[in-house]
A and B are shown apart, each in its own frame.
Chain A
């Protein structure tokens, strides 16, 4: 039995020791916004925030997340109540197929909290763990810049 804190809710789960975090989030908690693509830590689609830092949920066991705050895309904003980062991605068309988007947005959140004044090159570097096969990178970067402005305004 483990206890996971996911999106500000506590879950007690009986899991197998070998279960990965992405599997538990998807299959036990139904959080399908945590995308699983490569399963090898290469594509970044499964990125979540673990104590506010980006983590690849396919590369860790669920039990390793015990005692940490897990935030997934579902905990960031909802369809009718979007987070400013999500709004920015919509406004700037920061995606095509959308498969990489939840992971990219989670990394963006962490980046803008730690380095809100990142320039475009720094944003690109910080997103280098994510593959967007559609090649929407220029608009993804614009979305992050737009989000930085929105968040600054909100805080200011």
Chain B
């Protein structure tokens, strides 16, 4: 297996170890931030704006402060005049200011001895607002005379990426298709809520919260409060299903402010409505565009204009669209993205950001072209998808000025802006065979079977995403420490939201160190212990965190072998190996010492036990420039043309995440993505009040998600393992391509069943409307 510098058979990679915190999860003993208690803790509650857009002209908190049990109130007068920013333009704003931008925006907060008093006190704060005109529709918000949500204006500078010559390319195409789509906003719909506890000790602050991004959270607090990074500590706790929601959220910074004001630890716990309506959501997105093709089915030009809303505090210029490179054989491309501020709750990265929406739209353009050419979608995709070694056109155009390969890394890095590995082709071919696509696909718009009012048909869709990405914040890192009994601590700031990353990271470290994952404990949340990391975002963990974990483990291993060769085994370090916790000479295996013994013995030259601390020694390559994960999904649906109901009858997932680190962890990741994607495809959407932008369905009663009977009970999964040259042991990211593959697959299957293309979610109402029945 390539990328296995140790050249020994893999012993723990690829095995389905139970996840590390499994016992805590099944016994209910795992602690999330909502369970967190700190001695002397007060309870905070946030006063939220009833208006979509207003300026606060006066706040009087005297009555609230006078309520027995109230310990303090914070308003914008207490907040530093500083913006804090989340990664990748997901949030920018003051902790509190005199300008509220959506219904539910933070206005002030109260701390009290208990939550009930805090709730009462919040109602006693008197606020005078100057109501400002508001705007909710992204197209409206782009107009010159639209109310301006942010000081820097509503429209972000258009993000334009173009290569070749699209206009000429389209002109020269044998066929051109054109379409547009509207995506409503999907919500993370978190199970489990979130909370945070902030405590000041002298001039230092410690925060316990559930987060995917402990490092970002620390940086944000330092930025928003104007303090050194060294004085902020985040103790990241596990979260309920997060899928992008629990990064750094402003309620956490409000808690910090409140705790500083009252000089006591404060806990703010969000209720369900706050989780749904005041934190963030997926963007509302409106792509339109054209695609040109030659008569033999080769894509020649793609031209996309994509408008999406950022809500009140997002400032993204584009949502990312790595899917553009999926069809990178296109000679000519133009992508114009326009991010627009609105008076809706902030929009932000959610699982598969950009690739779910623009990817689905691109799949649709491809399908329209394939229909015109009367080509089987499978054949069309196989002909056009990006292959290993081919150039990533869009990314190269966008980022060529930022990255180049340093000479010393040339033999270490893959060629940048060229796809490093790919088994999508295999996914499509093996998946089609297994799914019996040839038999089941009856032609475009033709059902596989008709029975009464029910039409059955199949569809196939493709999804992609990055495997982590870089920005100027720093490289994801990891530290490995070997203790005096041979047990190991691995520290990497990933956060814990359930995917099993601690387990897969421990498998990587165990493989390098020749021990079992059980002997490795993983700290993923404490910024005092963990070096900086992006966290579990952008499908970073397996690939980039894994790269760091492997590097740190290799470093620790070298130190161990060096000590062994110096004191205990005759030979050079490179002649030694570690297996099952025993260091031995590869040629003379009877010369050996156990790791535990080596670590527990004072060394002759220092008279102390060894101190082994491993850190990644190799520079991490810019992975966005070459690494991609892929998913291809095959689905059979049944559409009832009388009721408009769509059922998923059969589902096959194929996945290229490179080498499989832990098959059961990966199976959960990919089906989870498919199920959330299917939810978005069929039932999930946020409803906003037309007059106020208020979220009207901020709960599971009104915002429906998939339950166990809604998805095929045992979908089949095929892993096609490309062997990535950079990913640890050849693995790649996994979490975000599956959600991007499910929407186009289902959408295409519905078209084949009833002959119409629908926007998502494809509700019964939309189906019946499209069929002219209502």
A100-118, CB under 8 A of B: which get 1 and which 0?
1110010000000000000
Chain A residue at minimum C-beta to C-beta distance from B711: A137
Q: Is A71 an interface residue (CB 8 A)?
A: no
Of B28-36, B82-90, B300-308, B554-562, which stretch is located at the interface?
B28-36
Q: Which chain B residues (12-40) contact chain A, with CB distance < 8 Å?
A: 16, 18-19, 21-32, 34-35
User: In the complex, A74 Cα to B238 Cα: how many Å?
Assistant: 20
**Chain B CB within 8 A of A15 CB:** no
Indicate whether A141 reaches chain B with its CB closer than 8 angstroms.
Answer: yes
Known contacts: A98-B30, A105-B26. The answer to whether A135 contacts B191 by CB under 8 A is no
Contact B18 A90 (CB under 8 A): yes
Using A79-B29, A97-B241 as known contacts, say yes or no to A131 and B672 having CB atoms under 8 A apart: no
A86 to B192, CA, bound (A): 20
Residue among A39, A91, A96, A100 with the most chain B CB within 10 A?
A96
Q: What A residues does B594 contact at CB under 8 A? A: none
B272 in the interface (beta carbon within 8 A): yes
Task: Pick the interface stretch among A62-70, A122-130, A148-156.
Answer: A122-130
Determine whether A82 belongs to the interface, using a CB cutoff of 8 Å to chain B.
Answer: yes
Partner of A38 from the list B497, B664, B699, B711 (CB cut-off 8 Å) is: B699
A97 touching B23 in the complex, CB below 8 Å, given contacts A79-B29, A130-B707: no
Taken together as a complex, chains A and B put the C-alpha atoms of A145 and B193 apart, in Å, by 30
| Complex CA distance for A141 and B672, rounded to whole angstroms | 14
- Given A40-B272, A97-B191, A134-B668, check contact A120 B24 (CB 8 Å): no
- Tell me whether B714 is interfacial, beta carbon within 8 Å: yes
Task: Return the chain A residue nearest B276 by Cβ.
Answer: A38
Chain B contact patch, size range = 35 or more
Q: Is B403 an interface residue (CB 8 A)?
A: no
Q: Tell me if A6 counts as interface (CB < 8 A to partner B).
A: no
Asked, given contacts A90-B23, A97-B498, whether A40 binds B29 with beta carbons under 8 Å apart, the answer is: no
Q: Which residue of B lies closest to A26 (CB)?
A: B35
Smallest CB separation, B607 vs chain A (Å): 39
**A37 touching B25, Cβ below 8 Å:** no
In the complex, which residues 38-63 of chain B have their Cβ closer than 8 Å to any Cβ of chain A? none
Main secondary structure of the interface of A (DSSP, over half): loop
Instruction: Answer yes or no: A138 CB below 8 A from chain B CBs.
Output: yes
Pair B191/A37 contact, Cβ less than 8 Å: yes
Residue pair A132, B191 in contact (C-beta under 8 Å) = yes
With contact pairs A33-B28, A45-B191 given, residues A121 and B668 touching in the complex (Cβ less than 8 Å): no
Q: Is the CB of B497 within 8 A of A79?
A: no
B498 / chain A contacts, CB cutoff of 8 Å = 95-98, 134
Do residues A98 and B24 form an inter-chain contact, with CB atoms below 8 A? yes
B contacts with A: majority SS: loop
Known: A91-B18, A121-B713, A135-B671. A97 touches B706 (CB 8 A): no
Complex partner residue of A137 from B29, B32, B190, B675, CB under 8 angstroms: B675
Per a CB cutoff under 8 Å, which of A77, A89, A136 touches B672? Answer: A136
In the complex formed, the residue of A with least CB distance to B679 is A135
A37 and B193 contact, CB distance less than 8 A: yes
Given A96-B668, A135-B673, A90 and B22 contact (CB-CB distance below 8 Å)? yes
Across the interface, name the chain B residue whose C-beta is closest to A72: B28
Per the 8 Å Cβ criterion, residues 49-63 of A in contact with B are none
| Residue A32, interface by CB 8 Å | yes
Contacting residue for B238 out of A79, A82, A97, A123, CB 8 A? A97
**Which residues of A are found within 8 Å of B705, using beta-carbon distances?**
131, 133
Query: Would you call A131 and B707 a contact (CB within 8 A)?
Result: yes
- Collect the chain B residues with CB atoms within 8 Å of residue A132's CB: 191, 241, 708
B664 touches A98 (CB 8 A): no
The contact of A96 among B27, B29, B241, B699, by CB within 8 Å, is B241
Question: Nearest-CB distance from A90 to chain B (Å)?
Answer: 4
Are A124 and B668 in contact, CB atoms less than 8 angstroms apart? no
Contact A96 B672 (CB under 8 A): yes
Inter-subunit contact B668/A34 (CB<8 Å): no
Query: A105 vs B208: C-alpha distance in the bound complex, in angstroms?
Result: 28
Q: Which residue of A lies closest to B677 (CB)?
A: A135
* Contact A42/B709 with A93-B667, A97-B241, A132-B191 known, Cβ cut-off 8 Å: no
Which of B27, B243, B701 makes the CB contact (< 8 A) with A40?
B701
Question: What is the 8 Å Cβ interface bit string for chain B, positions 660-679, against chain A (1 contact, 0 not)?
Answer: 00001101110111111000
Within 8 A of A (CB), among B166-214: 188-193
Contact between chains at B238 and A98 (CB < 8 Å) = yes
Q: How far is the CA of A74 from the CA of B29 in the complex (A)?
A: 8
B 490-523 to A, binary, CB cutoff 8 A, 1 in contact else 0: 0000000111100000000000000000000000
Question: Is A12 at the interface (CB under 8 A from chain B)?
Answer: no
What is the CB-to-nearest-CB distance from B130 to chain A, in angstroms, rounded to a whole number?
35
Chain A residues near B24 (CB, 8 Å)?
79, 98
B500 touches A120 (CB 8 A): no
Do A96 and B28 form a contact, CB below 8 Å, given A124-B708, A134-B668?
Answer: no
Does B128 belong to the interface (CB within 8 Å)? no
Do A86 and B27 have beta carbons less than 8 Å apart? yes
Contact B27 A73 (CB under 8 A): yes
Q: Are the CB atoms of A98 and B25 closer together than 8 Å? A: yes
Q: Which B263-283 residues sit within 8 Å CB-CB of chain A?
A: 271-272
B498 nearest CB across to chain A (Å): 3
Query: Shortest distance in angstroms between B349's beta carbon and chain A's nearest beta carbon?
Result: 17
A136 with B668, Cβ < 8 A, contacts A32-B28, A131-B705 known:
yes
B contact residues around A31 at 8 Å (CB): 28
Verify A93–B708 contact, CB threshold 8 A. no
Q: What is the minimal beta-carbon distance from A73 to any residue of chain B, in angstroms?
A: 4
Q: B715 on the interface (CB 8 Å rule)?
A: yes
Task: Tell me whether B239 is interfacial, beta carbon within 8 Å.
Answer: yes
CB-CB < 8 A to A131: which residues of B? 191, 700, 705, 707
B28 touches which of A34, A93, A128, A141 (Cβ 8 Å): A34
Contacts of B31 in A (CB 8 A): 32
- Contact status of A136 and B671, CB under 8 A, knowing A37-B193, A96-B500, A97-B241: yes
Q: Indicate if the CB atoms of B25 and A133 lie closer than 8 Å.
A: no
A53 to B238 alpha-carbon distance, docked (Å): 30
Please state if A130 and B708 are interface contacts (CB–CB under 8 Å): yes
B445 at the interface (CB under 8 A from A): no
Residue numbers in A under 8 Å from B189 (CB-CB): 133
State A36–B194 Cα separation when bound (angstroms): 11
B 736-771 to A, binary, CB cutoff 8 A, 1 in contact else 0: 000000000000000000000000000000000000
Q: Decide if B23 touches A82 in the complex (CB within 8 Å).
A: yes
User: Does B610 reach chain A (CB closer than 8 Å)?
Assistant: no
* Known contacts A42-B700, A79-B23, A124-B713, A93 near B664 by CB under 8 Å: yes
What is the CB-to-nearest-CB distance from B495 to chain A, in angstroms, rounded to a whole number? 11
What CA separation (Å) do A77 and B24 show in the bound complex?
Answer: 11
Q: Give Cα A43 to B192, complex, Å.
A: 9
Known: A93-B668, A96-B672, A101-B25. A133 touches B191 (CB 8 A): yes
Considering the chains assembled together, what is the distance between the CA atoms of A145 and B497 in angstroms?
26
A120-B714 Cα distance, complex, nearest whole Å: 9
Q: How far is the CA of A97 from the CA of B29 in the complex (A)?
A: 13
Within 8 A of B (CB), among A1-56: 31-40, 42-43, 45
Chain A to chain B: the 7 pairs with minimum beta-carbon distance, closest first: A33-B28, A97-B498, A98-B25, A135-B675, A96-B498, A135-B672, A133-B241
Contacts A32-B31, A93-B500 known; list 16 others, CB within 8 Å.
A40-B700, A73-B28, A82-B26, A89-B26, A90-B26, A93-B22, A96-B241, A97-B191, A97-B241, A99-B192, A99-B240, A123-B708, A131-B705, A135-B676, A136-B668, A138-B713
11 contacts between A and B (CB under 8 A): A32-B28, A37-B240, A45-B191, A96-B499, A97-B239, A101-B26, A133-B190, A134-B191, A136-B672, A138-B671, A139-B668
